[in-house]
Amino acid sequence: MYIFTEEQTMGTRKKIGIMGGTFDPVHIAHLVLAENAYRAFGLDSVIILPSGHPAYKITGGREISCAEHRLAMLEEACRDIPYFRVSDMEIKREGNTYSADTLEILTRENPDTDYYFIIGGDSLIKLDTWHDPASLLKNCIIVAAVRDVAPIQACEEKAADLRERFGARIEFMDIPQLDISSTEIRRRVHDGLSVKYLVPAGAEEYIKEHGLYL
């Protein structure tokens, strides 16, 4: 059984953020997204789940780094943030990992918890193409991060559609504009360039120590 939260007042529902991804590697924008959701929605904690075998991740022909490295980098990045928890739940699951399955397990095993699924606006627009969107939307509140005018309009239209079709609960959240990507970080490491301030210090040291992305 997966238990992620500390004991709280009896009868009070917990509010837990969920943020998934390959995190290859984790970078500052990931942590900013999780931090903003934690503060904006008064969450008890945010669970960060590196995927084991993501079904839809486009990798440009490259292999995703092994789960052991991605998990370790996240643990280093979140070590000093008490309200961020790193889970290997999806890594341990066999076969392709789907967010709908993860939320189904969590809500079944933790019925006293409301889950806030943290995604980017681009993911919201494509959410109805994900595996079993009805189950996913039934078991969580979507927190979608939006940043500028055009995506906001597209996200609002998609949110209205998902609410009508699935009864989705969707909230929007503003985040700072941080143009950081794992792809760019991997390229910089490969080219011998600094990634200081782009990735958390612990993750930066881990990348160097293990010679990742060279």
Q: Using one digit for the tens of pLDDT, what is the confidence trace for 142-193?
A: 999 987 655 789 999 999 999 999 999 999 998 888 889 999 999 999 999 9
CB-CB contact of 93 with 49 (8 Å): no
pLDDT band, residue 96 (cuts 50/70/90): confident
CB-CB contact of 37 with 77 (8 Å): no
Q: Would strands 14-21 and 45-50 be described as parallel, antiparallel, or unpaired?
A: parallel
User: For 23-63, how does the pLDDT look when each residue is reduced to its tens digit (9 = 90+)?
Assistant: 999 999 999 999 999 999 999 999 999 998 765 554 455 68
| Residues 11, 39: Cα–Cα separation, whole Å | 22
| Nearest residue to 174 (alpha-carbon basis) of 6, 40, 58, 10 | 40
Domains of the chain: 14-180 (3.40.50.620)
